[in-house]
Amino acid sequence: MNASNWIAICGFSRTKQGRHLRSVAGVAVGLPLQGHCGRSWPRRLMVYGALLLSLAVQPALSDAQEPLTLNSDVPLTYTVKPGDTLWDISTLFLRDPWRWQELWAGNPQVDNPHLIYPGDELRLIWEDGIPRLVRAQQSVVKLSPTMRPSPLDLAIPPISRQHIDPFLRQHRVAEVKALESAPYIVSGDDGRLISGVGDTVYGTGAWHEDRSFRLVRRLGKLTDPVSGEGLGIFVSDIGEAMLHDGEAAAGLAAMTVTEMREEIRIGDRMLPVTEAALDTVFQPQAPSTSVDNAFMIAVAGGVTQIGVLDIVVINKGERDALRVGDVLAIDQAGQEVKDPISEKMVRLPDTRAGVLMIFAVYDRASFGLVLEATRALRVGDKLVNP
């Protein structure tokens, strides 16, 4: 006797709910509803219902996030100081500081954690066993307690921009085809090999309607260490030049260097100046998806050892669902050692070595700022979900 006959004989109506019950009980649970009805069917129905309930609850329990874990030496109060960031404060309280929004969540005293000011006193409390960070109540009564006399730009930021902004003005990831087809400098004025601000240089290429160009220099090709795929070209932004009035002759055009950070050389490429929208704040957060086969693949400046506040290039980007603000843990591969008993080489487990935050995302690569480092980091270190 099949499941549909069993349900029909036992008096179940063929409603939408009945069909749903058959499909779940007979397919998802995988238990046959065969057998005679009689007195045993209510007990069977209770068993099936319990199984269905347990299956519905299990995913919710397995997907639930772990409770917030405080540091062992966490203070009960803290006074915000000039130069603090929300990341600094969260690192003081939390083992996983990228979960700072949970620590600040649901508190009427801290309606907007982005508007915490130097001098504010923060207190650690517990609500139903969950730690919360709140602003201490002021002893002076104010007629308008929701108004702040301090300007917005005095509020502490989630992450300081002082190391990020200069880097973004001077570096980018360019697509290979776009860079190879971009105009480039063929000569300086009077045959000079090196030019500076105010000098005339001559470029060749397809100019289209653009008049202002960023001068960029190739730093290196970015390659995925796992697949070998090209991810783009890491370039340095070294200056700006403006086309002279008039038509270019045979693709050649005269330009004036209007800005420079390094000397301008023959062969430097030119990309049109574009207005890029920058994020006003960087809010650390856990990635929305699992991050696999992610590595630090380059670093600016040619340094060999990477530390806190250094900026690195990552082999994952927008197509991998990375977002500005995503926090990744940095793992270093365990060393290979010789087992003295078996005399075989074994690899020790990976070691957690630091944390970084993504602050610029391109199609296949990203820039990340190292926020924490417990040991010297290097290109090739692995990145994983925190």
Q: What is the pLDDT of residue 102?
A: 79
Q: What is the pLDDT of residue 130?
A: 82
Four-CA torsion 103, 109, 111, 113, nearest 10 degrees: -50
* Distance of alpha carbon 183 from alpha carbon 38, whole angstroms: 86
Report the candidate in 119, 111, 134, 135 with the shortest Cα–Cα distance to residue 83.
119
Q: What is the pLDDT of residue 278?
A: 59
Minimum mean pLDDT among 15-24, 102-111, 265-274: which range?
15-24
Q: What is the pLDDT of residue 106?
A: 54
- Between the alpha carbon of residue 199 and those of residues 214, 241, 242, 250, 323, the distances in Å are 15, 10, 11, 22, 40
% of the chain with per-residue pLDDT over 70: 71
Report residue 53's pLDDT band, with 50, 70 and 90 as the boundaries: very low
The answer to whether the CB of 263 falls within 8 A of the CB of 193 is no
Q: What is the pLDDT of residue 91?
A: 82
The answer to whether the CB of 188 falls within 8 A of the CB of 266 is yes
Locate 298 and state its tokens: 């380059």
Choose between 104 and 68: higher pLDDT: 68
Kindly state the average pLDDT of the residues 233-251: 84
Report the candidate in 311, 322, 385 with the shortest Cα–Cα distance to residue 352.
385
Question: In 3-state terms, what secondary structure has residue 2?
Answer: coil
Kindly state the average pLDDT of the residues 41-70: 51
* Distance of alpha carbon 203 from alpha carbon 183, whole angstroms: 6
Q: What is the pLDDT of residue 157?
A: 61
Q: Name the residue ranges covered by the structural domains of the chain.
A: 3-63, 66-137+154-158, 170-272, 294-384
Phi, then psi, of 91 in degrees rounded to 5: -65, -35
* Distance of alpha carbon 86 from alpha carbon 96, whole angstroms: 13
Residue 250 has pLDDT above 50, yes or no: yes
Is the pTM of the predicted complex or chain greater than 0.95?
Answer: no
In tens, the pLDDT along 160-217 reads: 677 788 888 889 999 999 999 999 999 998 888 899 999 999 999 888 788 899 999 9
Phi, then psi, of 256 in degrees rounded to 5: -110, 130
Residue 58 has pLDDT above 90, yes or no: no
Query: How high is the mean pLDDT of the chain?
Result: 76
The domains spanning 66-137+154-158 and 170-272 adopt the same CATH topology: no
DSSP code for 306: B
> 3-state SS string over 44-94?
HHHHHHHHHHHHHHHHHHHHCCCCCCECCCCCCEEECCCCCCHHHHHHHHE
One of 2.60.120, 3.30.390, 1.25.10, 2.40.10 is the CATH number of 170-272, namely 2.40.10
Report residue 70's pLDDT band, with 50, 70 and 90 as the boundaries: confident
CA–CA–CA angle 80, 83, 89 (5° rounding): 50
One of 3.10.450, 3.40.50, 1.10.10, 2.60.40 is the CATH number of 66-137+154-158, namely 3.10.450
Residues 6+ apart with CB under 8 A from 356: 312, 327, 328, 330, 368, 369, 370, 371, 383
Q: What is the pLDDT of residue 52?
A: 42
Report the candidate in 134, 241, 136, 106 with the shortest Cα–Cα distance to residue 184.
241
Choose between 200 and 30: higher pLDDT: 200
Q: What stretches of the chain adopt beta strand conformation (E)?
A: 77-79, 121-127, 130-135, 171-174, 184-188, 194-195, 200-204, 212-223, 230-243, 252-260, 264-265, 269-272, 294-299, 311-314, 327-332, 336-338, 345-347, 351-361, 366-373, 382-384
Kindly state the average pLDDT of the residues 126-138: 77
How many CB atoms are located within 10 Å of the residue 131 CB? 17
Report residue 378's pLDDT band, with 50, 70 and 90 as the boundaries: very high
Q: What is the pLDDT of residue 11?
A: 37
- Write out the H or E segment, with its range, that includes residue 18: helix 16-23
Kindly state the average pLDDT of the residues 283-305: 88
The topology (CATH level 3) of 294-384 is Thrombin, subunit H (2.40.10)
Among 136-140, 293-297, 353-357, the range of highest mean pLDDT = 293-297
How many CB atoms are located within 10 Å of the residue 70 CB? 14
Q: What is the pLDDT of residue 65?
A: 63
Q: What is the pLDDT of residue 155?
A: 58
Q: What is the pLDDT of residue 5?
A: 37
Pairing of strands 230-243, 212-223: antiparallel
Residue 28 has pLDDT above 50, yes or no: no
Q: What is the pLDDT of residue 249?
A: 62
* Distance of alpha carbon 186 from alpha carbon 287, whole angstroms: 45
Give DSSP secondary structure letters for 213-240.
EEEEEEEEEEE-TTT--EEEEEEEEEEE
- Write out the H or E segment, with its range, that includes residue 302: none
Residue 55 has pLDDT above 50, yes or no: no
